[in-house]
Structure 1
Amino acid sequence: DVVAVNASSEDELAGHVEQADALMVYHMISLSRKTLEQLQQCRLIVRCGVGYDNIDIHFARKRRIDVVNIPDYGTEEVADSAIGMALALARGIHFLNSRLRAGQGPWSYSQAVPIGRLRGRVFGIVGLGRIGTATALRAKALGMNVVFYDPYKPDGYDKALGIRRVERLDVLLQESHVLSMHCPHTEETHHMIDAAALARLPHGAYLVNTARGAVADSAAIPGAIASGQLAGAAIDVLEEEPPSDKEPLVAAWRDPGHLAYHRVLINPH
C-alpha cells in the first residue's frame, strides 16, 4: 500500500508514519531523531531530490535505516533557473518590471543604469556537482568567464569543461560579478556566504542561491543591498519554507521602502 501524507512540517507526520516500511520525503520535511525514533519497521528513506541535510542520517544509520537520494533530480531545471535569475537581475529585467508596474520613475531603461555587459564578466560557482556543472556550461555559452571553487573535485574538471578553478573561496569572491551557489549544506558550508563574504565581492555584484538556504546568511543580504555592495540577489531557497514574516530578508523584500523590494528575487524552492 502507498499512503500519501498531506504534511508540510515534521510535526504533521506524527500518527501517520510509525508503521511505514519506507518513507519518501521532499526538502521541506525534516526527519530528525524525534521522528526516526518512532519508526517501528522502516528500512528505507528516499529523499526525493539531491540534498539530504533535512534528514538525520547518522541516527538513521544507527537504526539501520538506509537513506538514499536522487542525484540527478532537477539538474537541468535548477541550472536553467540559476541562469534565468542571474539574467533577470543583471539585465535589469526584474528591477524595471517591478518599478514600472508600481508606477515609479520614468518609462525608461535609464532607471536601471548601469546595466553592464555580461559577456566577459566572471561567473563564480561554489560547488561543481551536477547542477553546478550544468550551470557552468550555460554561463560559458553566454560568453562569461566561468570560475569555480570546489575543494572536493579532483584535478581535470576545469580542463575538461574549459573553465577555471581557484583553490580558495576568498579568491573566487574577489573576482565574481555573479556568484552562484551550488554546494550542499553541511557544517562546513553553513552560512559560508555571510556579511564578510559579501563584502569581498566586487561592488555591485549579484548573488544567486539555488542550493540550500543555509549556505548563505540571508540576514546579511538586506544590508548588502542597501549599501550597494550587492546590486541584486536571487534566492530560490530559504532556511525556513514557507518563511516567517520576521525573516529579515523577507521583510526587506516586502518593504516598498527598502531597495530589496526591487532588487531581490525570491522563489519557493
Structure 2
Amino acid sequence: MSTNKKKLLITESMSQQGWALFRERGDIETVQFSNLISAADFSALLEQQAPVHGIALGATQFGEPELEASRDMKVVARIGVGYDSVDVAALSKRQVPLMIAGTANSPSVAEQALFMMLTLAKRAVELHALVKDGKWSSRLGMLPFDLFGKTVLIAGFGRIGSRTAKRCLAMEMTVLVYDPYVASDVITAAGCEAVTDLDAALPRADFVSIHCPKTKETTGLFDAARIARMKPSAYLINTARGGIVVEAALYDALVAKKLAGAGLDVFEVEPPPHDHKLFDLPNVIIAPHVAGVTREALDRMGLQTALNMLSVLDGEPIRQNAVNAEVLG
C-alpha cells in the first residue's frame, strides 16, 4: 500500500452507495469485515491491518484496546446513530472523532414507533388471529381504539423523537415532550407541549415512546417506579436502546394489568433468549432491532457514513454528525 493511502476497515453492512464513494478514491484502501466478528478476531484483524486510519462499525465494540491496535486511527464511524458500543472518552482522549449517520435513519425509526402504536391500538395481531381461527362472532369483544384524541409522551426530542412527534401530530394526538436538553420554546414551536417533570407527565399519557440515547443517565430510566406512574390503559414503546426499560419491571406490570401493552424493537440482551418471558404475552409486539434498518435507511446510512469518514480524512469534517465535535478544534 502506498504511504499516501488511507486504510479503512468497513463492516459488511455498508451499503453499495457508501462503497461506491470509496471506490472513486485512489487514495483509499478498504478492507471488509463481518459485523458478527468476535472481539478476539477483531483485535487480531486490527493488528494485522495496522496502521488503520478509519473504521465503519456496525454493532462491534470499539475502545482503547482497539485504538491501540489500530496505531493511527483518524476517524471512527457508526453506520447508525447509536454509539453505546463505542468508548467515546477513549476516542476523545486521542482526538479521534466519532461520526454518526445523522438523520439517515430517523424517518424509519419514527415510522416504526408509529407503526407499533397503531398495531397495538388497532389490536392487529389479535384480530388477525381471530379471523384465521374462525372466531369472527367474538370480534366485538376485542374492539380496537383510535390514536385520534389520545396523548403521547415522547422521551427525547432529537432527530428521531422530533420526527415521531410530527407523525403523532398528524394523527391528531396531543404530544407531550420530555427532553431536559432541548429548550421548551423549540418543543412548543413544533406544536408540542414541553414537560419538565417526567414523573408528573407519565400519568397523562396513553402512549410513551422512548427516543433518547442510552447513557448512564438513561439506563434503567423506565424502572418499576416509573412504569407504575403510567395509566393501566397506557402502552410503552421502545425503539431506542435496550436497557432504558427494565424488562423485569415491564413484565410484572403487564402481567398485573397495570400496563396495557408494549412494543419493543430493542432488548437488554441482544439477541434476547428464546424463552424470554415477554414473548409469551399477547399484548406485547416485538421486532429484532430493525426500526432503523429499512432498505432506504441502509442506503442513506451507508452513504452518510462514507461521507462522514471522508470529510474527516479530507480535513473538512461534517461537524453536526460528530458526537465529540470538540476534538475537531
Q: Which has the higher helix share?
A: 2
CA distance in 2, matches of 1:10, 1:151: 37
- Equivalent runs, 1:58-97 vs 2, <5 Å: 58-97=89-128
The aligned amino acid for 1:44 is V
Largest Rg, 1 or 2: 2
CA distance in 1, matches of 2:221, 2:111: 24
The aligned amino acid for 1:268 is P
What are the Cα deviations for residues 231-254 of structure 1, in whole angstroms up to 9, with x where unaligned?
1111111233222336xxx3330x
Match of residue 112 from structure 1: 142
The structural deviation recorded for 1:167 is: 0.8
CA distance in 2, matches of 1:158, 1:133: 8
Match of residue 4 from structure 1: 32
The aligned amino acid for 1:252 is L
Which fold has the larger relative contact order, with Cα–Cα distance below 8 Å and residues 6 or more apart in sequence?
Answer: 2
Match of residue 29 from structure 1: 60
CA distance in 2, matches of 1:98, 1:234: 18
What are the Cα deviations for residues 100-121 of structure 1, in whole angstroms up to 9, with x where unaligned?
55x49665333434x3332111
What are the Cα deviations for residues 201-234 of structure 1, in whole angstroms up to 9, with x where unaligned?
0112111111111211122221111111221111
The aligned amino acid for 1:90 is A
Change (3 A) 1:225 1:171: same
What are the Cα deviations for residues 21-76 of structure 1, in whole angstroms up to 9, with x where unaligned?
211012x2221434333222222100111121210011122233221112212111
- Match of 2:260, SS state, is strand
CA distance in 2, matches of 1:133, 1:228: 30
CA distance in 2, matches of 1:197, 1:151: 17
Change (3 A) 1:99 1:186: farther
Match of 2:224 among 195, 207, 217: 195
Change (3 A) 1:104 1:179: farther
Show structure 2 runs of 5+ residues with no match: 1-28, 290-329
- Equivalent runs, 1:1-269 vs 2, <5 Å: 1-8=29-36, 11=39, 12-18=41-47, 19=50, 20-26=52-58, 28-98=59-129, 103=133, 108-113=138-143, 115-245=144-274, 250-253=276-279, 255=280, 260=281, 262-269=282-289
- Match of 1:44, SS state, is strand
Show structure 1 runs of 5+ residues with no match: none
CA distance in 2, matches of 1:137, 1:118: 14
Identity over the aligned pairs, expressed in percent?
Answer: 33
Normalised TM-score (structure 2): 0.73
